[in-house]
Structure 1
C-alpha cells in the first residue's frame, strides 16, 4: 500500500478529491469516474495511481489522521490549560464542518465501517485511538491540575467528547446546518470546569 508521504502531485490531487467526496458522500457514494471528472483526468489515470478504491481510501484516512495528529501537537505546543486545549480540539471539528457541512473523514467512514475493506477499517480505528489517547491525557492533566473536575474517568470523558463532536456533525447535517457544534461541546466542557 502507498504511504501518503510518497504521493506525486497528481496522486495528491486524486487524494484531495477523494477526501472531499468522502466528507460529503461517504466511501460508497463516489466512484473513480467522479474523481476523474473533478480532477480533470481520465479514469485510467486514477487507476494508474491507485489500483483499488480500498488503497485510495486507506491513503485518504492515513493522511487525514496524520494532519489531525499534527493539529493535536500544535494545540499542545500553543495552548496551556486543559479546558482551552479541549476548546481548541472542538475548533478542529467546527472548522471542518464550516466547510459546506463537511464531516470528519473518519466519522463518516466509521458509520460505513461494516461495508469497508479491512485496510480502511484499520486506519479508521487508528484515528479514533489517537484521539481518545490524546483527549484522555489532556483531561487527566486537567483533573490533576484542578482545571477540570469530574467524577468520571478521563477515558470516559474523552470518549464522550469525541462521540459528541462526531454526532454533532451528523445532527447538524440532518438539520441542514441548524446546529451549533461548539455550543453542544461547551455543555460538556463547562460541566468539567
Structure 2
C-alpha cells in the first residue's frame, strides 16, 4: 500500500472512530487493527494522536466548506441552500450512531490539542459566515419566512443543527433531529407558498 493511500485510510478510520466514539474513544491499537498496519507505521504518518486529530479536522473542514460553496453555486435559492445544509447535518448522523466531526470533538474538548482547537474554531467561523451570508440572501429574496438579523439567524441555525444532532445521537434515532429542525424547515417551505 502506498504511503498516501495508507495515510488516507488512517484518516478515514480515525474520523469514523471519532464520529462514533469521540476523540478519546479509540487508540492507535484500534487503528492498527482497522487498517491492518503496525502501530509504528501509524506513528510514521502521525507522530502523535494530536497530529492525527488536527489533520482529520482540517480535512473535514475543507470537505464541508467545499460542499457549502457548492450549494451556493448550484442551488438557486437561499432556502434550498439552507435545506441542504440541514440535510448535511442530518446525514452525518448515519443511522443515529454518529455525529459530525466538529460536534463529536466537543465530547473530548478538554483533551484536544491547541492545533485541533484552532482548526475547530476556524471551521465554526467559516460555517457561521456561510450561514450569515445565506440568511442575508434569504432575507433579500424573501425565500425564508421571518428572517430578522442574518447574524442572529446564523447563530441560531448552527446551534440548532448541532444540538439536534446531539439529541438524536442520545436517543439513537434520527427522527429526533427531524423533530428538532421541523420549525426551521417549515420556514423554508412556507416562504414558497
Task: State TM-score, norm by structure 2.
Answer: 0.90
Partner of 1:4: none
Partners of 1:27 and 1:112 within 8 A in 2:
yes
Q: CA RMSD in A?
A: 1.7
CA 1:114 to 1:33, structure 2 compared with 1: closer, same or farther past 3 Å?
A: same
Of the candidates 15, 19, 24, which is equivalent to residue 23 of structure 1?
A: 19
Of the candidates 119, 135, 142, which is equivalent to residue 138 of structure 2?
A: 142
Instruction: Output the CA distance in 2 between the equivalents of 1:176 and 1:96.
Output: 13
Of the candidates 18, 32, 35, which is equivalent to residue 39 of structure 1?
A: 35
Instruction: Output the CA distance in 2 between the equivalents of 1:69 and 1:53.
Output: 24
Of the candidates 61, 64, 88, which is equivalent to residue 60 of structure 2?
A: 64
Verify: 1:101 aligned to 2:136, yes or no. no
Partners of 1:90 and 1:182 within 8 A in 2:
no
Instruction: Output the CA distance in 1 between the equivalents of 2:55 and 2:117.
Output: 12
Task: State TM-score, norm by structure 1.
Answer: 0.90
Instruction: Output the CA distance in 2 between the equivalents of 1:148 and 1:112.
Output: 35
Count how many residue pairs are aligned between Structure 1 and Structure 2: 187
Instruction: Output the CA distance in 2 between the equivalents of 1:121 and 1:50.
Output: 17
Output one character per residue of 1:70-94: Cα deviation in whole Å (capped at 9) or x when no partner. 1011111211111111001111112
Q: CA deviation at 1:182?
A: 3.6
Partner of 1:132: 128
Runs of 4+ more than 3 Å apart: none
Output one character per residue of 1:73-125: Cα deviation in whole Å (capped at 9) or x when no partner. 11112111111110011111122212552201011113422221100000011
Instruction: Output the CA distance in 1 between the equivalents of 2:157 and 2:77.
Output: 17
Verify: 1:13 aligned to 2:3, yes or no. no
Partners of 1:168 and 1:179 within 8 A in 2:
no
Verify: 1:165 aligned to 2:161, yes or no. yes
Instruction: Output the CA distance in 2 between the equivalents of 1:186 and 1:82.
Output: 17
* Higher mean displacement: 61-70 or 165-174: 165-174
Of the candidates 177, 181, 193, which is equivalent to residue 181 of structure 1?
A: 177
Contiguous gaps of at least 5 residues in structure 2: none
